[in-house]
Each structure stands twice: as structure tokens, then as C-alpha cells.
């Protein structure tokens, strides 16, 4: 049973929550939502997940399915308080990301009169300064991995360092997962480092899709393959309709 | 106490230049019947305070808006709001852009007559650069932590939509999320509430914790069946119609046709036209 790229990505996203214990796994994007629920159904059973709305589901539910039995209530107002509380690890998207982990979902170009107005900062400033944050980027390219983001929606390591240790004490960027590779910020200056490349991806390919200097330490391992059980859960339980392939081609 | 009123009376009591809060969230339980009436009105120069959705988009399309105060503008199932994008990209509206949590703290401050509330959200991000008037505040305790002082988001008028309300102006929501509608009601000088169904006092039913908005915060209440359309209110979002809205909004000619068909008449005409559109099987 060989895994598709999308399935490698789902598992790589799931790995972001390994060791998190009893916190909310909040996710945006198909593979990251599937990843959160997969982690809960396999190696991280303490995680809390939602129906994509205001309900904390008693069990991890298939993508797009109704909540079924519920174990808690998390309307937007409570979700925003939970960000302040901190028992939450969010995996967001980003239209731009730089080598220090600053991200942009607000606007492309000059903010005062953008070339392209995007969503707005949404919860990115609060998420990044209050609780662990990872990113899921379904299509890595030099348009996304840029030297400098146009608007800092999510706070990166240089910005956090500038705030001083007190204000930045909850700032915690964990990892970035793309369709090509996995990254973290495990360098002395908190800049991005290549952790693994997905099976079938060359390191050069990742470098070519990155618009800044990437830290690459020696031989880069391959992102791990899903286990048989993980593949079964993805294919038969969480995403039988294959919605993951709308995000990452098979 | 909320007086039973009409859409026309509510919009007739508004003035150009006002700061108007709009409840709901994204494309969810928005008081769209009231928004459509503002769209048709002669009001201009409005400041709109909103977890933005098609409410913001429609009012931008009509040139009613001078400033938007929001953490996002989205149609949820369609990520980007085309009219808001167009207005921003041609420099037609000013934008006060806050983090979602900051925005809630601004509502909480206004609802409780506080000048500001402190939060970490915003620190280190460009929210501080985009809003140069924002100030920080230092904890007077030993930690000495510096936090964002989110100013109160006080509004002249707030508009919210509830599933059920009584003739005194008490409002109840039926879905899983109250959004911030009670805060909008408390943070404004006057709050007008539309509802799908208006009942007599004492007939609201349901668990008391779903009685979100109290008549003490409501100036007027109006029954607008389907008044949240096409946002998610009760029966879910009208995704097909929202797609029609978004596709039309992306093209000037298609938008002229959409506006001519759906937005020139009153609310009853709108509901009837949507029904006809649906029967055409579009």
C-alpha cells in the first residue's frame, strides 16, 4: 500500500501535534484538518478537535461530516478566549512566509492600497503571540516563500525577539509543512530549516521553490511514510471521498 | 424597550457619517434585510464595524462606506469578498484592521464603558503599523508586561439578526454560535434587531442561555422572515445564491444585472425574486 503525496502531507501535518497532549488542535485547510483528526485517532488521543464550527466533537469526525456526539462548546467568543488561555496549537495557512516565520494573509502589495486584498489578518496576530503555531502550505513556491512578507499578520522570530522575552514568552512557531517538505525554525537565529523532504522530492526542488536562503544541515532525511493503520484511517474513516486530492494532487 | 418597527423606519432613523456595527460573523447570521435597505438608501460616509462578510461587501459596492473596521472580510465558503477586495484595491475605503481577538476586546470595552482593554494580540504584528493611533499599556504590577490597549469600539447604532424575538425586543438565537451580537447591542447607542419570527412576550421558549439579547439594549425590533439570507441563519447558508452573488460581483456587467434584479425593490420583492431565481433551477 504505497502512500500518495497528499497522504504524506496529512501525516506530516499530524506530526505537528505529536506530544501536545490535551489541547485544542485547531486547523485550517483540508490536509491539516485531516492531520489533526488523524493524530487524535492514532498517536495523540488526548487532542480536542472540532466539527469545523462551534462544537468540540466527542470523537474525531470525518472531513465535512456532522459533529455527531459532542463533548464541548467552542463558539467564536470562547475560541478567542482560548487563544489567550493558550491550551491550543493552531495550524494556519499563509499566502506569504519569510525565513523568520513572519506570515501574511492580509494583503499583497502596499497595505494602504493593496494590489490584492486578501482575508485580513484574522486571528493570526493573536494566535502567534499567544499559543503554538504551525503552518500548512499546500503549494510551495517562491511566490509564497518570499524574502519579506508584505504585511506581517503572523509574528515571526525577529518580530517576537524585538518584543523582549516577557511579551514574547508564549510565541512558539513549531513547524511548516508544504506539499514538498517539512521545515522548522531550529537554528540559532530562529530562521527556517529544512527538516525533511517528502518521498520523491529532491532537496534542489525545495530550494528552487524557496525565495530565501534556507538552512540545510547535511543530508536531509525523507518525511516518514504513513503506517498501514494511518492509511486506513485516512482512506476509510476520515476522507473516503478523497477531498485531500483537491488540495494536493494524487 | 424595543418597539416593533419596520425596516424603512429603522433605516430612516440612520444618518450619513454614522458608525454602524453589524452583528453576525463572516457569512453567518447577518442582518441582511437591514443591510439591503441601507444599500437602497441615500446614506453615505458610513463607518462599518463588523466581523465582515457580504454586509461589508454590499455596502462597499453601493459606495456607502468611508471606513471599514474589521479583522477580516470573508464569505466563509468563498474565502475572499469580491466587492470589499475591489473597494480596497481602488482605494475607495479606509480600513482599520484588527486581530479577531483585539476586535472582541474592543467590543467588550465598549459594552462595559471602559476606554480600553489590554491584550497580547497584535504585539509584534503589522496591526500596530497599520493603526498608528494604537497605544500599548504597561502592567502596574511586578511583571511590568506591555500589552496592546485596544480602544473601545463604540458605535452609534448596531444591527443584529436573531432567529426569534419578542415584541418587547428580547432576542433568541437557535444555532450553535451566538457570535458577538449581545456585545454589539451593548456597545452601541441604539441597537435594532431583525428576526425571522416575532412572538408575544413570554413565548420565546427554549433554554434561557439562548436568550442572547435583552430588550434593555434594544431600540427597535422588526420581523424579516429570511432576513439573514443568503448568509447562514437557521437553515444554513444559501450556497448556490452566494456563488451567484460572488460570481456577479466579480464582473461589472454581471453585477449591474444582479443589482437590477435583486436589489432595486424592497425586502418582499427581494425574497420573491430569490424564490423565482430558485425555481428557474439556477
Which pLDDT score is estimated for B282? 60
Tell me the average pLDDT of chain A: 97
Choose from A117, A133, A150, A158 for mutation: most chain B CBs within 10 A: A117
How many other C-beta atoms can be found within 10 angstroms of the C-beta atom of residue B236? 10
Given a cut of 60, whether residue B1 has pLDDT beyond it is: no
Q: What is the pLDDT of residue B235?
A: 80
| End-to-end CA gap in chain A | 14
Tens digit of each residue's pLDDT (9 = 90 or more) over B220-237: 999 999 999 999 997 899
pLDDT for the residue A213: 96
| Tens-binned pLDDT, residue by residue, of chain A (250 aa) | 699 999 999 999 999 999 999 999 999 999 999 999 999 999 999 999 999 999 999 999 999 999 999 999 999 999 999 999 999 999 999 999 999 999 999 999 999 999 999 999 999 999 999 999 999 999 999 999 999 999 999 999 999 999 999 999 999 999 999 999 999 999 999 999 999 999 999 999 999 999 999 999 999 999 999 999 999 999 999 999 999 999 999 7
Contact B113, B189 (CB under 8 A): no
CA dist A16 and A35 (Å) reads: 9
Report the gap between the CA of A97 and the closest CA in chain B (Å).
Answer: 13
User: Between chains, do B71 and A118 touch, taking CB under 8 Å as contact?
Assistant: no
**B interface mutation test: which of A121, A131, A154 has the most B CBs within 10 A?**
A121
Contact between A16 and A71 (Cβ < 8 Å): no
Contact B177 A128 (CB under 8 A): no
Say if residues B4 and B164 touch (Cβ distance below 8 Å). no
B70/A120 CB distance under 8 A: yes
Angle between helices A5-15 and A30-41 (to 10 degrees): 60
pLDDT at A1: 63
Among chain B residues, CA nearest to A80 = B101
Q: Cβ separation of B101 and A80 shorter than 8 Å?
A: yes
CB contact under 8 A, B126 and A123: no
**In chain B, what residues touch A122 (CB-CB under 8 Å)?**
71-72, 99-100
What are the pLDDT digits (tens) for A128-155?
Answer: 999 999 999 999 999 999 999 999 999 9
Peptide bond into B230 cis (omega under 30): yes
**Is the dihedral angle over the CA atoms B244, B250, B254, B260 positive or is it negative?**
positive
pLDDT grade, residue B2 (50/70/90)? low
| Cβ contacts of B233 on chain A, cutoff 8 Å | none
Neighbours of A227 (CB within 10 A): 14
| Whether the predicted model's global pTM rises above the 0.90 cut | yes
- Mutate which of B126, B236, B237 to disrupt the A interface (most A C-beta within 10 Å)? B126
Name the average pLDDT for chain B.
97
- CA dist A141 and A154 (Å) reads 19
* Closest CA–CA distance from residue A90 to any residue of chain B (Å): 15
CA A93, CA A68: separation in Å to the nearest integer? 27
The whole-number pLDDT of residue B234 equals 76
In order, the DSSP letters of chain A are -PPPHHHHHHHHHHHTTTT--SSEEEE-SHHHHHHHHHHHHTT-TT-B-BSSSSEEESSPPPTT----SEEEE--HHHHHHHHHH--EEEEE--SEE-TT--EE-SEES-TTS-SEE-S--TTHHHHHHHS-EEEEESS--TTTB-SS-SS--B--HHHHHHH-TTTTTT--EEEEEESSEEEE--STT---EEEEE-TT--HHHHHHT-SSPPB--SSPPBPPPPPHHHHHIIIIII-TT-THHHHS--
A75, A121, A129 ranked by CB distance to B120: nearest = A129
Dihedral of the alpha carbons of A90, A93, A96, A97, in degrees to the nearest 10:
30
CB A161 within 8 A of CB A188: no
Amino acid at each position: 500500500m504505497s502512500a500518495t503525496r497528499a497522504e504524506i502531507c496529512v501525516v506530516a501535518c499530524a506530526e505537528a501535534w505529536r506530544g501536545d497532549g490535551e489541547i485544542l488542535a485547531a486547523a485550517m485547510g483540508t490536509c491539516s484538518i485531516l492531520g489533526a483528526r488523524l493524530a487524535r485517532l492514532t498517536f495523540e488521543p488526548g487532542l480536542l478537535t472540532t466539527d469545523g464550527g462551534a462544537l468540540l466533537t466527542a470523537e474525531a469526525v470525518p472531513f465535512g461530516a456532522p459533529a455527531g456526539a459532542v463533548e464541548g462548546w467552542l463558539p467564536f467568543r470562547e475560541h478567542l478566549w482560548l487563544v489567550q488561555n493558550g491550551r491550543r496549537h493552531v495550524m494556519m495557512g499563509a499566502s506569504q512566509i519569510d525565513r523568520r516565520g513572519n506570515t501574511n494573509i492580509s494583503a499583497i502589495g502596499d497595505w494602504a492600497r493593496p494590489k490584492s486584498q486578501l482575508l485580513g489578518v484574522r486571528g493570526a496576530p493573536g494566535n502567534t503571540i499567544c499559543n503554538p503555531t504551525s503552518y500548512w502550505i499546500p503549494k510551495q513556491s517562491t511566490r509564497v516563500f518570499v524574502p519579506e512578507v508584505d504585511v506581517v499578520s503572523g509574528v515571526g522570530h525577529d518580530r517576537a525577539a524585538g518584543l523582549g522575552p516577557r511579551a514574547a514568552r508564549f510565541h512558539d512557531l513549531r513547524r511548516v509543512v508544504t506539499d514538498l517538505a517539512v521545515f522548522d525554525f531550529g537554528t540559532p537565529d530562529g530562521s527556517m530549516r529544512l527538516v525533511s523532504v517528502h518521498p520523491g522530492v529532491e532537496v534542489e526542488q525545495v530550494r528552487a521553490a524557496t525565495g530565501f536562503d534556507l538552512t540545510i544541515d547535511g543530508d536531509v532525511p525523507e518525511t516518514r511514510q504513513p503506517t498501514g493503520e494511518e492509511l486506513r484511517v485516512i482512506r476509510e474513516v476520515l476522507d473516503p471521498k478523497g477531498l485531500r486530492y483537491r488540495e494536493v494532487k494524487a | 424597550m424595543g418597539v416593533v418597527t419596520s425596516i424603512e423606519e429603522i433605516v430612516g432613523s440612520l444618518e450619513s457619517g454614522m458608525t454602524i456595527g453589524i452583528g453576525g460573523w463572516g457569512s453567518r447570521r447577518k442582518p441582511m434585510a437591514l443591510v439591503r435597505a441601507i444599500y437602497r438608501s441615500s446614506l453615505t460616509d458610513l463607518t462599518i464595524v463588523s466581523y465582515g462578510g457580504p454586509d461589508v461587501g454590499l455596502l462597499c459596492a453601493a459606495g456607502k462606506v468611508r471606513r471599514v473596521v474589521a479583522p477580516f472580510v470573508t464569505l466563509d465558503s468563498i474565502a475572499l469578498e469580491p466587492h470589499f477586495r475591489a473597494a480596497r484595491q481602488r482605494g475607495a475605503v479606509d480600513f482599520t484592521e484588527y486581530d479577531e481577538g483585539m476586535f472582541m476586546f474592543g467590543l467588550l470595552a465598549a459594552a462595559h464603558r471602559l476606554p480600553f482593554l489590554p491584550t497580547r494580540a497584535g504585539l509584534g504584528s503589522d496591526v500596530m503599523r497599520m493603526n498608528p493611533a494604537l497605544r500599548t499599556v504597561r502592567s502596574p504590577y511586578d511583571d511590568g508586561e506591555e500589552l496592546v490597549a485596544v480602544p473601545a469600539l463604540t458605535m452609534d447604532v448596531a444591527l443584529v439578526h436573531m432567529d426569534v424575538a419578542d415584541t418587547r425586543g428580547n432576542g433568541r438565537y437557535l444555532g450553535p454560535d451566538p457570535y458577538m451580537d449581545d456585545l454589539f447591542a451593548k456597545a452601541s447607542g441604539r441597537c435594532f434587531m431583525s428576526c425571522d419570527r416575532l412572538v408575544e412576550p413570554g413565548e420565546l421558549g427554549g433554554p434561557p442561555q439562548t436568550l442572547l439579547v435583552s430588550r434593555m439594549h434594544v431600540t427597535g425590533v422588526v420581523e424579516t422572515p429570511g432576513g439573514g439570507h443568503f448568509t447562514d441563519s437557521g437553515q444554513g447558508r444559501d450556497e448556490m445564491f452566494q456563488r451567484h452573488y460572488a460570481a456577479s460581483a466579480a464582473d461589472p456587467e454581471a453585477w449591474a444585472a444582479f443589482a437590477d434584479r435583486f436589489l432595486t425593490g424592497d425586502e418582499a420583492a427581494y425574497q420573491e425574486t430569490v424564490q423565482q431565481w430558485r425555481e428557474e433551477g439556477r
